[in-house]
Chains A and B, each alone.
Chain A
Amino acid sequence: MSSAAVTETMRNAGVNWHSDEMKARRKARYAADRRLQIYGMIAIAFALGFLAILVGSLTFTGYKAFTQTVATVEIDLSQAKVDPANIGEADWRGIVRNALRAQLPDLSRSDERKFFEMFTSSGQFLVRDAVVADPGRLKGVSSFTIPMADPVDQLAKGEIRRDVPESQRRVNDTQIGLYDQLVQKGIISTPFNWGLFFNADSRFPELAGLAGAISGSFWSLLVCFAISFPIGIAAAIYLEEFAPKNRLTDLIEVNINNLAAVPSVVFGLLGLAVFLGWLGLPRSAPLVGGFVLALMTLPTLIIVTRVSLKSVPSSIREAALGIGASKHEAIFHHILPLAMPTVMTGSIISLARALGETAPLLLIGMNAFITSPPDGVFAASTALPTQIYIWADSPERGFVSRTSAAILVLLAFLVLMNGIAIFLRQRFERRW
């Protein structure tokens, strides 16, 4: 029946658009629209609420890790017996202890042990390294900052409360008294904790930092990108532009989609068996971490690249072929450049996911305790998520806030990467 005939029938049936029934019907339809809108708003509110709770609680527990209680001590090295030709061999332990001891002249001999426990046990190495870095300091008095040990740091930050009985806190009454004296002398301060970013891991919270984890993650992602980007694009181009459509390519396609959904721990086990077991690559190395993350990223990257190649209008392909461009010219001169912004966005988001991936790295040993940042892809290392895992597992009080701080750092990197992805998309994406 043509539309004209329908209209005619309606008119004959005497449809009254202003009848109560018709009005009620329209009202119900508008109400359904509004309900749908409200459900959506509730969903968004929930999502934002949970995000706010996550970030809020992390910030609440983590912000204190961004400062560190330190003592600033003047040390006169011209009086100390240090051989300028062999700085490392000097008695730094004695020098530091003397300097600290000098802060409280009327400290009784019996309290000395408790006093030295209040400072980080590695103070001697920090001072030594500072002097090695700047031998000019040997000539006179210069000031050094020595982090306080974790319990004192917690006391200063109010995490250890003075009103709990002495037997139940890690700082005894004597130490609290000594601490107050040091505060009165004005040598205690809580500056920004640069060590969190520039130190590697340590057994002592006051010295532990993320430098090893950040560079480990960097090397792993570099390897991951270097492998998955070219392979992913090549595979996607072949499947999208060259492969015949038959059962074999269908099977490959189904498998790629399935691989994208495989739990990452399985890739970790594969990496453990193949890269460490068969190939004998070094344990805990960012190289192997990168391999495993690349395996995990590849399926996603192939899918993203295929979709973006598909989204380039076929008119561009035809235009190129129509003036006699060969297939590879059409792809590399026209189709791929147009698909590139989406491909870049997709790979950055895949890399962001790889950055946060923990399970596969645990299985290849990137959760080891390593106290120096890796100097390349073969050196043993941790990564940001595994560092968080290690710290979350550590009993020392200082690691509680450091774990949250590390998560905040990881989140900051993720936000940064996604921000770059959004920027690239806004800046370069073409619309038809």
Chain B
Amino acid sequence: MNIMSEAAVEKALEQKMSDAHFKMVGKDVSVYYGEKRALFDVNLNVRKNTVTALIGPSGCGKSTFLRTLNRMNDTIEGCRVTGSITLDNADVYDQSVDVVELRARVGMVFQKPNPFPKSIYENIAYGPRIHGLARSKADFDEVVENSLQKAGLFNEVKDRLHEPGTGLSGGQQQRLCIARAIAVGPEVILMDEPCSALDPIATAKVEELIHELRTNFTIVIVTHSMQQAARVSQRTAMFHLGNLVEENDTDKMFTNPDDQRTQDYIMGRFG
């Protein structure tokens, strides 16, 4: 009667597992910039409430992959994506998907801190305002305070919320950008080398923050620093020349990688 074939059961179970574990799933993702192919059939899953680090030498396609996850590549002229990327099992490249909603759910923090040249308050209130997430002044105040709290910036800036965000230090600006991303309540936060423009102390603070954010958000971070990948991530994916070389637990990746190229890269033999 209700006997399913063993294979079907297994498949269903697997499906359930992936539903539970995988926030975003990339399948055979290829990216072309005009004639040039930048990514070759990448299969990479992003686990829920996990920090996934993408590492690899310059030009390996890690940032390109990151940008396919919230379709920031759409803004680049001549960029084409094939394969599928799903967010909670819904294809983000589907015709029906609203890119505005997608980017609210999959937020992004960029390499160079890029606060709007407006007040700290306005920087954070902007997202909730355009998405209609807050209505009254009290709502906005709350969102701003909460986001700054979560980004660990509130105590540093609470007395100057109405001063320009561009007046903060580099590290503070980057945490402001993280707070800005948090304010629209994303499920996933993408970070594109968020510490590469920061000094070591500011970097430490941002890393600490990433660590804390993991409980509420799924994070994908591109980094050039192997140490940073080792410090902040649970899963690491290694890219090389547009291919995904290896994806593994971070601990395993840095002690006993499966692939020789990963080993070489981590040991600093190329990069």
A325-B115 in contact (CB<8A): no
Q: Mark B84-111, 1 if CB is under 8 A from A, else 0.
A: 0000000000000000111110011110
Summarize A's interface: helix, strand, loop or mixed: helix
B126-A318 in contact (CB<8A): no
- Spot the interface stretch: B177-185, B217-225, B250-258: B177-185
B126 CB → nearest A CB, Å: 7
Residues of B within 8 A of A323 (CB): 103-104, 107-108, 126-127, 130, 180-181, 183-184
A324-B184 in contact (CB<8A): yes
B126-A333 in contact (CB<8A): yes
Q: Is B131 an interface residue (CB 8 A)?
A: yes
Residues of B within 8 A of A322 (CB): 70, 72, 103, 107-110, 181
A319-B114 in contact (CB<8A): yes
B75-A318 in contact (CB<8A): yes
Q: Is A334 an interface residue (CB 8 A)?
A: yes
Residues of B within 8 A of A396 (CB): none
Given the known inter-chain contacts A318-B75, A319-B110, A319-B177, please indicate yes or no for A324 contacting B100, CB distance below 8 A. Answer: yes
Q: Is B112 an interface residue (CB 8 A)?
A: yes
**A315, B108: Cα distance in complex, Å:** 12
Q: Mark A319-346, 1 if CB is under 8 A from B, else 0.
A: 1111111100100011000100000000
Summarize B's interface: helix, strand, loop or mixed: helix
Q: Is B33 an interface residue (CB 8 A)?
A: no
A315-B75 in contact (CB<8A): no
A310 CB → nearest B CB, Å: 14
A324-B104 in contact (CB<8A): yes
Residues of A within 8 A of B107 (CB): 322-323
B100-A245 in contact (CB<8A): no
**A329, B127: Cα distance in complex, Å:** 11
Q: Which residue of B lies closest to A314 (CB)?
A: B75
Given the known inter-chain contacts A245-B77, A318-B110, A319-B110, please indicate yes or no for A324 contacting B101, CB distance below 8 A. Answer: yes
Chosen A-B contacts, 30 in total, with CB atoms closer than 8 Å, are: A244-B77, A245-B77, A313-B114, A316-B114, A316-B117, A318-B108, A318-B114, A319-B110, A319-B114, A319-B180, A321-B72, A322-B72, A322-B108, A322-B110, A323-B103, A323-B107, A323-B127, A323-B130, A323-B180, A323-B183, A324-B100, A324-B103, A324-B104, A325-B126, A325-B127, A325-B130, A326-B130, A329-B130, A334-B116, A430-B117
